[in-house]
Structure 1
Amino acid sequence: MPKVIADNCVACGACVDACPNGAITVDDIAVIDASKCTDCGACIDACPSEAIEN
């Protein structure tokens, strides 16, 4: 499952828009709901600040 690197996350929401399963929410940083994540990698590709890694 992808992991958010808190120090890199700027809470832009690009990952939220990219996630086809609605598994990501953003407050101060992105949070990935493991129960909804299918490990597709869309969030990793969409993140402009390289804050999500597998």
Structure 2
Amino acid sequence: LALVAAALATPDQARTLLTQAQAALDSLPAEARDLRSSQLVQGLIADARRRRS
């Protein structure tokens, strides 16, 4: 969540920070990725990427 917030606050580093956030989320076990909180973070990453476009 902190990486997504940092990406939104620092557009020049957003790509790197969002990549790191996605990698952290992807490294979680499947059970953890299925949690609602993980799905929320996944949505925030996607929203931040759309804002960059």
User: TM-score, normalising length from structure 1?
Assistant: 0.29
More strand per residue: 1 or 2? 1
More helix per residue: 1 or 2? 2
Higher relative contact order (CA 8 A, sep 6+): 1
User: TM-score, normalising length from structure 2?
Assistant: 0.30
